[in-house]
């Protein structure tokens, strides 16, 4: 009996030593983290099985009850039961404490303080290039044009050959083109979409194609290696240069006002014949090249930068209009009658159909309209700059 009593005592001692880490949870709970409490709870469950399950030492001890002398059996039985009860009670108490802590911690984690002021989402706004592009798109859509969007990575065929710029043609050099390692060109002009659109839609066709173009230019105040162009194309029976001039003049009048006039200067582009560059009368001085001090005040009112202030002050002495540099004209883009070779490349018979095309860049135009002194600002994504176009 003495031996068995010692054995039970040993079981109790061993249990208590191992139970130590689950004891006193209540006082430890303050710095217990939810995750470690959850882990501890798992361990406790395993420990409970080990300590009280069928194969536990206390279960083994119960089997000894029948083996002690009958007169001592009662007392020994009580001893074992008392040890078992103590073990079970301690385990259950620890379990209850741990569960209580976990429940409270979970509630705390999911708690919402509805009285905290909300975070107002900052509403976005359009980039100046997008603003201008959409204004021009609206004008052309109202004149019955469709908007074409097309790829920025092209083959030499679409960037050059189909546009009547054969290999070795100097125009290939003047548009210093970026190439991918796979030999594709980042399109250097939106004129590529003339070909794509005619192949896709056939003729008659009236489209404009806004988009990004890429050229190997070193960035400075008026150059960036990626910029935006808008291409226009109209092909039908009986289209003449008069339609070109009428269309270009009409959209510029709608954008800058009824009194806007245009000017076409003979030029050369491989994909048009004849070709012309077009200018429009300055939207600030209306073609005079001079500005009154009131006009200047109005034209430099918005988005004035330190650099602009200087220019404005010095122009006060000469009264020279700034956007047109005193010439009264703003040069905008290229245009012409679509070259017969371009029509042929798209399977269109130049004996039946004729058309005009034009193309111009958006950055310099936007820079003038919004008083931006350096077009690089448009791609630096500095919110202090961008927020001025809200
Ligand atoms: N693609 C020319 C350029 O990037 C611009 C241009 C000129 C487009 C004449 C045209 C055109 O459609 O007819 O410089």
Question: Residue 181's pLDDT is what?
Answer: 93
Strands 205-214 and 146-147: parallel
- State how far the Cα of 160 lies from the Cα of 154, in Å rounded to an integer: 10
What is the distance in A from the centroid of ligand 1 to the CA of 113?
Answer: 60
Residue 305 is predicted with a pLDDT of 47
Range name among 67-81, 185-199, 223-237, 357-371 with the lowest pLDDT average = 67-81
Instruction: Compute, in angstroms, the gap from residue 182 CA to the centroid of ligand 1.
Output: 26
Examine the pLDDT at 318 and tell me if it is beyond 90: no
Q: Is 211 in the pocket of ligand 1 (CB under 6 A)?
A: no
Top-confidence residue, 162 or 319: 162
Ligand 1, atom 4, residue with closest C-alpha:
189
Q: Provide the b/e sequence for 12-40 (b: ≥16 CB within 10 Å).
A: beebeeebeebeebeeebeeeeeeebeeb
Pick the residue with more confidence: 264 or 70? 264
Mean pLDDT rounded to a whole number for the chain: 90
Quick check: CB of 334 below 6 Å from ligand 1?
Answer: yes
Whole-number pLDDT of residue 307: 40
Least confident of 118-127, 191-200, 259-268: 118-127
Q: What are phi and psi of 377, to 5 degrees?
A: -55, -35
pLDDT value at position 168?
A: 87
Which tens digits make up the pLDDT trace of 105-125? 889 888 888 898 988 888 889
Is pLDDT of 267 > 90? Answer: yes
Would you say the CB of residue 335 lies under 6 angstroms from ligand 1? yes
Q: How far apart are CA 177 and CA 215, in angstroms?
A: 5
By the 10 Å C-beta count (0-12 exposed, 13-18 middle, 19+ buried), 71 is classed as exposed
- pLDDT for res 310: 40
The structure tokens 């060109």 sit at 185
pLDDT of residue 294: 63
pLDDT category at 297 given cuts 50, 70, 90 is: low
Say if ligand 1 is within 6 A of residue 177 CB: no
pLDDT at 306 over 50: no
Enumerate the β-bridge partners of residue 210: 230
Do 389 and 132 touch, CB atoms closer than 8 A?
Answer: no
Q: Output the CA 266–ligand 1 centroid distance in Å.
A: 13
- Verify whether ligand 1 is closer than 6 Å to residue 357 (CB atom): yes
Write phi, then psi, for 177 (nearest 5 degrees). Answer: -95, 145
| DSSP 8-state symbol, 300 | T
- The residue to mutate among 207, 208, 275, 334, having the most atoms of ligand 1 within 8 angstroms of its beta carbon, is 334
Residue 358 Cβ < 6 Å to ligand 1: yes
Q: In the 3-class helix/strand/coil scheme, how is 333-348 assigned residue by residue?
A: EEEEEECHHHHHHCCC
- pLDDT at residue 299, rounded to an integer: 55
Report the pLDDT value the prediction gives residue 21, as an integer from 0 to 100.
85
Segment among 130-144, 161-175, 300-314 with least mean pLDDT: 300-314
**H or E stretch covering 308:** helix 306-318
Peptide bond into 274 cis (omega under 30): yes
| Ligand 1 pocket member 269 (CB < 6 A) | yes
Tell me, using a 6 A CB cutoff, whether residue 272 lines ligand 1: yes
Q: What is the pLDDT of residues 349-378, one digit of tens each?
A: 999 999 999 999 999 999 999 999 999 999
pLDDT for the residue 313: 47
CA distance 277 to 267: 6
Residue 303 has pLDDT above 80, yes or no: no
Largest CA distance in the chain: 128
pLDDT for 52 = 92
Residues 368 and 330: beta-carbon distance below 8 Å:
yes
**C-alpha 167, offset from chain centre:** 37
Mean pLDDT for the stretch of residues 53-65: 88
Q: What's the helix, strand, coil split of the chain in %, to 5?
A: 50, 15, 30
336 lines ligand 1 (CB under 6 A): yes
Please name the residues in contact with 332: beta carbons below 8 A apart, sequence gap of 6 or more.
252, 278, 279, 280, 360, 365
Tell which one of 207, 210, 271, 361 to mutate to probe ligand 1, the residue whose CB is within 8 A of the most ligand atoms: 271
Per-residue pLDDT of 272-292, as tens digits, reads: 999 999 999 999 999 999 987
CA of 307 to the centre of ligand 1 (A): 32
Q: For a substitution probing ligand 1, which of 358, 364, 365 has the most ligand atoms within 8 Å of its CB? A: 358
pLDDT of the residue at 174: 62
Res. 135: pLDDT tops 80: yes
Helix locations, 125-264, DSSP H = 128-142, 156-159, 170-174, 192-201, 241-256
What does 51-102 look like in DSSP terms, one character per residue? HHSTTSHHHHHHHHGGGS-HHHHHHHHHHHHHHHHHHHHHHHHHHHHHHHHH
CA distance 210 to 215: 16
- Report the sign of the C-alpha dihedral through residues 271, 274, 275, 281, in that order: negative
Using the atom order of ligand 1, give the atom closest to the CA of residue 190: 1
Strands 272-281 and 205-214, how do they pair?
unpaired
């Amino acid at each position: 009996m003495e031996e068995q009593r010692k054995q039970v005592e040993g079981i109790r001692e061993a249990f208590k030593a191992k139970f130590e880490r689950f004891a006193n949870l209540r006082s430890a709970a303050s710095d217990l983290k939810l995750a470690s409490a959850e882990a501890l709870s798992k361990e406790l469950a395993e420990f409970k099985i080990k300590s009280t399950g069928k194969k536990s030492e206390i279960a083994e001890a119960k089997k000894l009850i029948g083996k002690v002398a009958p007169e001592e059996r009662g007392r020994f039985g009580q001893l074992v039961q008392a040890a078992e009860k103590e073990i079970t009670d301690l385990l259950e108490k620890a379990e209850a404490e741990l569960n209580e802590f976990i429940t409270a911690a979970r509630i705390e984690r999911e708690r919402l303080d509805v009285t905290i002021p909300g975070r107002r989402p900052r509403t976005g706004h359009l980039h100046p290039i997008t603003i201008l592009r959409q204004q021009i798109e609206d004008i052309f859509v109202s004149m019955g044009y469709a908007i074409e969007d097309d790829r920025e990575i092209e083959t030499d065929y679409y960037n050059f050959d189909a546009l009547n710029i054969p290999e070795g043609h100097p125009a290939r050099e003047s548009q210093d083109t970026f190439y991918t390692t796979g030999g594709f060109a980042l399109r250097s002009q939106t004129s590529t979409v003339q070909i794509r659109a005619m192949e896709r839609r056939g003729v008659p066709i009236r489209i404009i194609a806004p988009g990004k173009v890429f050229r190997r230019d070193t960035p400075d105040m008026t150059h960036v290696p990626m910029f935006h162009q808008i291409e226009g194309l109209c092909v039908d029976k009986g289209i003449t240069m008069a339609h070109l001039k009428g269309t270009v003049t009409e959209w510029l009048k709608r954008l800058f006002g009824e009194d806007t006039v245009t000017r076409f200067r003979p030029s050369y582009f491989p994909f048009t014949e004849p070709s012309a560059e077009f200018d429009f009368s300055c939207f600030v001085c209306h073609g005079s090249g001079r500005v009154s001090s009131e006009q200047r005040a109005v034209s430099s009112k918005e988005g004035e930068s330190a650099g602009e202030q200087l220019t404005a002050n010095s122009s006060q002495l000469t009264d020279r209009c700034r956007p047109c540099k005193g010439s009264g004209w703003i040069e905008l883009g290229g245009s012409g009658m679509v070259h017969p070779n371009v029509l042929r490349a798209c399977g269109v018979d130049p004996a039946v159909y004729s058309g005009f095309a034009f193309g111009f860049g958006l950055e310099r135009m936007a820079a003038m309209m919004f008083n931006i002194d350096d077009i690089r600002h448009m791609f630096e994504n500095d919110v202090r700059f961008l927020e001025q176009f809200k």
